[in-house]
A and B are shown apart, each in its own frame.
Chain A
Amino acid sequence: MSNKPVYDRTHHAKMATGIGDPQCFKGKAGNAKFKEGDRVRIKDLPDLFYTRTMTYTRGAVGTIVRLVYESPAAEDEAFGNEDHPEWFYSIVFSQKELWPEYSDSFGNDTLETEIPERYLESA
């Protein structure tokens, strides 16, 4: 017999079966640090190995429009770590905040995206 370690490769599937993902993480992230309407700046954390927080949002300031769900951040989930779910926020940025050369003719354009709590600081 082999003495190789045996991982529970299906632990995430067991968690989500019949409930769904991210629903299976509901109530597991604790209190949300931010609320709708808060102005937040996106932290420029190291973008090494995996992230879904687009580089072009980093250092930019946006407004939280919704708390969307609780889930492990992509940095954890992409390596099978589901022990620390956190709040995800839908954040609206002005396009002019993101792109310096963005035309004034479209000055009211916005971009909305979802970002986990670890990337946010009050602005």
Chain B
Amino acid sequence: MSSSTREEVLRHIDTVGLMQPALHKQTHAPSPTQIDHTLYRAYTRTPHDVGGEPDVPIVWHEKEEEIWELNTFATCECLAWRGVWTAEERRRKQNVDVGQTQYLGLPYYGRWLMTAARILVDKQYVTLTELVNKIDELKQRAKSGQSLGEYSPAKTK
């Protein structure tokens, strides 16, 4: 019977609600006996599965999308059209593989952008060395006041 499953599931949802990343408290590799099944499941759950988790209300902010966010979205869609990833691979990377701290801590499109870079490295379209060198080159260019050559759409009236 599944009443024990329901008990476990509801206990799990209560437990993950306590697992907001806490910067003020360091954790050190615990001994295996300190991690019972409830804690193990809470730690290894997929962080996007937040349904039912107790939490404080989120303040609603009306925010216009920024150019870099739209460019990020378009880049990710192009990666899908060209067969680099499926939507499900993208969601796994941007919502789960990042881990709970980044999932809750980074802006939404920040995770999209990180993930676009990550898939290109993971599938060997670029090497991490090339990516790091490119980021460094652009940082230097920005520091010297030069344009980064980023795309901005023409102004409409």
Chain A residues with CB under 8 Å of chain B are: 4, 7, 9-14, 21, 41, 44, 47-51, 54-56, 58-60, 74, 77-80, 98-100
Digit string of B47-88 for contact with A (CB within 8 Å is 1, else 0)? Answer: 001011000000000000000000000000000111110101
Complex CA–CA separation, A7 to B124 (angstroms) = 10
Complex CA–CA separation, A44 to B3 (angstroms) = 12
- Is there contact, CB below 8 Å, between B83 and A49? no
- Interface of A: prevailing SS: loop
Complex CA–CA separation, A11 to B86 (angstroms) = 11
Task: Indicate whether B9 reaches chain A with its CB closer than 8 angstroms.
Answer: yes
Q: How far is the CB of B144 from chain A (nearest CB, A)?
A: 35
Digit string of B99-116 for contact with A (CB within 8 Å is 1, else 0)? Answer: 000000000000000000
Contact residues in B for A47 (Cβ distance below 8 Å): 41, 44-46, 49
Q: How far is the CB of A37 from chain B (nearest CB, A)?
A: 21
Contact residues in B for A9 (Cβ distance below 8 Å): 83-84, 123
- Is there contact, CB below 8 Å, between B49 and A13? no
Digit string of B2-27 for contact with A (CB within 8 Å is 1, else 0)? Answer: 11011011101100000000000000
Contact residues in B for A21 (Cβ distance below 8 Å): 86
Task: Indicate whether B91 reaches chain A with its CB closer than 8 angstroms.
Answer: yes
Complex CA–CA separation, A12 to B45 (angstroms) = 27
- Is there contact, CB below 8 Å, between A48 and B83? no
- Is there contact, CB below 8 Å, between B83 and A58? no
Contact residues in B for A12 (Cβ distance below 8 Å): 83, 86
- Is there contact, CB below 8 Å, between A60 and B84? no
Q: How far is the CB of A74 from chain B (nearest CB, A)?
A: 5
- Is there contact, CB below 8 Å, between B46 and A50? yes
Task: Indicate whether B89 reaches chain A with its CB closer than 8 angstroms.
Answer: yes
Task: Indicate whether B141 reaches chain A with its CB closer than 8 angstroms.
Answer: no
Q: How far is the CB of A71 from chain B (nearest CB, A)?
A: 9
Q: How far is the CB of A101 from chain B (nearest CB, A)?
A: 10
- Which of B5, B80, B89 interacts with A44 by CB under 8 Å? B5
Q: How far is the CB of A24 from chain B (nearest CB, A)?
A: 11
Leading 5 A-B pairs by shortest Cβ distance: A13-B83, A59-B5, A10-B83, A78-B92, A59-B2
Query: Can you list 24 A-B contacts with CB-CB less than 8 angstroms, sorted by A residue number?
Result: A9-B84, A9-B123, A11-B83, A12-B83, A21-B86, A44-B8, A44-B9, A47-B41, A54-B49, A55-B45, A55-B51, A56-B9, A58-B5, A58-B9, A59-B8, A59-B9, A74-B88, A77-B89, A78-B86, A78-B89, A78-B91, A78-B92, A79-B89, A80-B89
